[in-house]
Amino acid sequence: MLLNELTSLAATPLNQFFEGSNQVFWICSADLKQMFYMSSAYHSIWCRENLNLDKCLQDFVNSIYNEDKTRIMSAFGELFTSGEIDEEYRIVLPDSSLKWIRTHVFPVIDTVDETEYIAGIAEEITEYKQMQVQLNQSEEIFRQFANHAEVVFWVCKPDVSKFHYISPGYEKIWGRSCESLFTDPQSFLDLVHPDDLERLREAAFGENSCSMDEEYRIVKPDGNLRWMRDITFPIYDEKGNIYRMAGISCDVTVRKQAEIESIRALQRERELSEAKSNLISIISHQIRTPLTAIQSSCDILEHYLDRLTEEKKRSHFQKIGTAIEQVTDIVQDVLMLSELNANALSLNKSRVEIIELCSDAIANVSDNHRIEFVSSVKNQHILVDRKLVRYIIINLLENALKYSDVSQKVKFNLDIKSDYLSFYIEDKGIGISSKNIEKIFDSFYRGGNVGNIQGTGLGLSIVKQCVELHQGKILVSSALDQGTIFTVIIPQYN
């Protein structure tokens, strides 16, 4: 285009397009000393009013922000070598505020006299740059969050055949590299707990995979078990079709453990409540029985004392004494359990002659003629709480006698080594089922095969806690209808 034809441009539709555009069109000399054409958008974008054409070029150069000026002027200097300029830079407005400009510049050679010119198009991109800054900031915030949060973010195909993005949290939580998931998209299933695998597979690859909310367990490469929660969302294309799936995976182990513990606590509370109700019923029944015997004997003695022989009188007094002992034993168990549960029962060790202690315990057990006592030691002293060990022996012997036939013997074997005392009590009675053994030391618990045999379900619980106060342990071995062996081991320290 000849420069002398520029004056005729105003009458053409092209000029109307230039003047109506929000972009700046301009032509200047190759040495940047003379401006030949500048569209009116320059005045609105550069916020200049009534600026004549002669001053536009200098104003254009001076308005470039100092930090960008060297780069832009260098680009103009190399224009006829590079062939074009496509740059973004800032300009300073009269009020000192900044705007972002993008300019596309190219060399022009007059076809008549081969004079070189420079033509350019410039547009304001301030809003775009601000959005870009905000987007970069958002991306950085998300990147920081994704890199450090205890969660995993991912984007994949709806059929999980390819991952487009997986956050670094995968490596931290799952203990495997992100690259392993890009290589084999379904390799995450390798860590899923076998009991949860089929359920998760159906959820992750089923019809509702893009709206999944599942909790499951994984076993990490180091053997650590973790609970995970996965939530997925569909991503739609412009036609409304699902073409990707986004998801969040969170480690919810702490919450699940708390839930499990809460359920267990509620279950224990429920069992305890039921046990306490049963205890009240059992104790009421067990106390009522001896009280009835006491009442009966007292009534007979009151009304028929002068008619009874001395032998009959002694018999009723013995019944009363036995019944009182039964009530005393029940009250003692309840009080001891209360002290143990309140951590109020202290361990008072003293040097005790073990054979004398065992003999005393046997003497205080009814039907003790059925007990076969065998000891590998004689007249040896041990360091224990006499009261608690006596209770342990008496309770285990009474149980062995109570739950076995009157014709059967009960074995009581004692042994002492250099650093521990041990004894076992064996019967050939009704035995304990395998499902009941794990609960046999729970307070108020009684086996399902005890029938009408009286008991509160407190004795073994107290025995176990008495043993543990000595830092010892109690073992049980049993089979239904074959008998039971309780073994007690109590350490001895100098």
pLDDT in tens, 391-416: 999 999 999 998 898 999 999 999 99
What is the CA angle 146-149-153, rounded to 5? 45
Q: How many CA atoms lie within 13 A of 211 on its CB side?
A: 3
d(CA 487, CA 407): 23
Alpha carbon distances (Å) from 82 to 78, 86, 287, 290, 407: 6, 11, 109, 114, 115
The length of the chain is 494
Q: Chain-centre distance of CA 436, in angstroms? A: 31
What is the CA angle 303-304-309, rounded to 5? 155
CB neighbourhood size of 109 (10 A): 12
Report the amino acid identity of residue 40: S
d(CA 292, CA 285): 10
d(CA 325, CA 318): 10
Give CA torsion, residues 89, 94, 98, 104, to 10 deg. -20
Residue-by-residue pLDDT tens, the chain, 494 positions: 445 555 555 555 555 556 667 888 888 888 888 888 888 888 889 988 766 777 888 888 899 999 999 999 999 989 888 889 999 999 999 999 999 999 999 998 877 777 788 999 999 999 988 888 888 777 776 666 666 667 888 899 999 999 999 888 888 888 899 899 999 999 999 999 999 999 999 999 988 889 999 999 999 999 899 999 999 999 999 889 999 999 999 889 989 989 888 988 888 888 777 767 766 776 776 677 788 888 988 988 888 888 888 898 888 888 888 788 778 877 777 777 777 666 667 788 999 999 999 999 999 888 899 999 999 888 889 999 998 999 999 999 999 998 898 999 999 999 998 889 999 999 999 998 888 888 888 766 677 677 667 666 778 888 998 999 999 999 999 988 899 999 999 998 64
Task: Give percent of the chain above pLDDT 90.
Answer: 39
Q: pTM above 0.75?
A: no
What is the side-by-side order of every strand in the sheet holding 483-491?
A: 371-375, 410-416, 420-427, 483-491, 473-479
CB 376 within 8 A of CB 414: yes
Q: Rounded to the nearest 5°, which phi and psi values hold at 153?
A: -110, 145
